[in-house]
Amino acid sequence: MAMIETGRRNFRLPSRWSVGAALIALVVVAPIIAVFGIALFPKENIWPHLISTTLPRYLMTTAKLMLGVGILAAIVGTGAAWLVARYDFPGRRWLEWLLLLPLGIPAYVGAYALVDFLEYAGPVQTTLRRMFGWTNAQDYWFPEIRSLGAAILVLAAALFPYVYLLARNAFREQSASSDEVARSLGAGPFARFWRVGLPLARPAIAAGVAIVMMESINDFGTVDYFAVQTLTTGIFSVWLEANNAGGAAQIASVVLLLVVLLVTLEKLSRRRMRFFNLSTRYRPVARRPLRGGFGWLATVACTLPLLLGFFLPCGVILSHAIDNAENWLDSELWRAGLNTLVVCGTAAVITVAAGVFLVYGVRLSGQKLPRLLLPVTTIGYAAPGAVLGVGILIPLAAIDNTVADAIWSTTGWDPGLVMTGTAFALILAYCVRFFAIAQGAADAAMGRVSPNLPLAARSLGRNQSQVLTSVYYPLMRASVASALLLVFVDCVKELPATLLLRPFNYETLATRVHEQASLENLGGAAPAAILVILFGLLAVGFLARANR
What are the structural domain ranges in the chain?
A: 13-42+324-548, 56-274+284-322
Q: What is the pLDDT of residue 8?
A: 47
For every residue of 416-429, DSSP letters joined together read: --TTTSSTHHHHHH
- Pick from 144, 286, 156, 134: nearest CA to 212: 156
Q: What is the pTM of this model?
A: 0.86
Average pLDDT along the chain, 548 residues, taken 10 residues at a time: 47 67 85 87 77 88 94 94 90 90 90 90 89 86 90 94 88 72 71 79 85 89 91 87 82 86 72 52 73 89 93 93 90 94 94 90 73 75 84 87 85 80 91 89 83 82 83 84 88 91 90 90 92 88 71
Could you tell me where the beta strands, DSSP code E, fall in 430-475? none
How are beta strands 87-88 and 288-289 bridged, if at all?
Answer: parallel
User: Would you state the pLDDT for residue 387?
Assistant: 87
pLDDT at 37: 87
Residue 91: Cβ-neighbour burial (10 angstroms; 0-12, 13-18, 19+): middle
> What's at 422, amino acid-wise?
T
Q: Which of 384, 389, 387 is nearest to 499 (CA)?
A: 389
346 contact partners, CB below 8 Å, separation of at least 6: 427
Architecture of domain 13-42+324-548: Orthogonal Bundle (1.10)
Give CA–CA dist 115/113, Å, rounded. Answer: 6
CA distances (Å), 467 to each of 135, 456, 512, in order? 75, 10, 44
pLDDT at position 2: 47
What would be the CATH architecture of the domain defined by 56-274+284-322?
A: Orthogonal Bundle (1.10)
Using an 8 Å Cβ cutoff, are 247 and 44 in contact?
A: yes
Say if 13-42+324-548 and 56-274+284-322 have the same CATH topology: yes
pLDDT of residue 272: 54
Rounded Cα gap, residues 189 and 180, in angstroms = 12
**CA gap 7, 339 in Å, rounded:** 58
For residues 386 and 376, give the distance between their C-alpha atoms in angstroms, rounded to a whole number: 20
The alpha carbon torsion through 180, 185, 187, 192 (nearest 10 deg) reads -40
Non-local (6+) Cβ contacts of 210 within 8 A are 262, 263, 266
3-state SS class at 10? strand
Beta strands 9-12 and 87-88, pairing class:
unpaired
pLDDT at position 404 is 82
pLDDT tens digits, one per residue of 439-478: 888 888 888 887 888 888 888 888 888 888 888 888 888 8
Beta-carbon neighbour count of residue 189 at 10 Å?
15
**What digits encode the pLDDT tens for the residues 378-415?**
777 778 888 888 889 888 888 888 888 888 888 878 77
Question: In the prediction, which pLDDT does 3 show?
Answer: 47
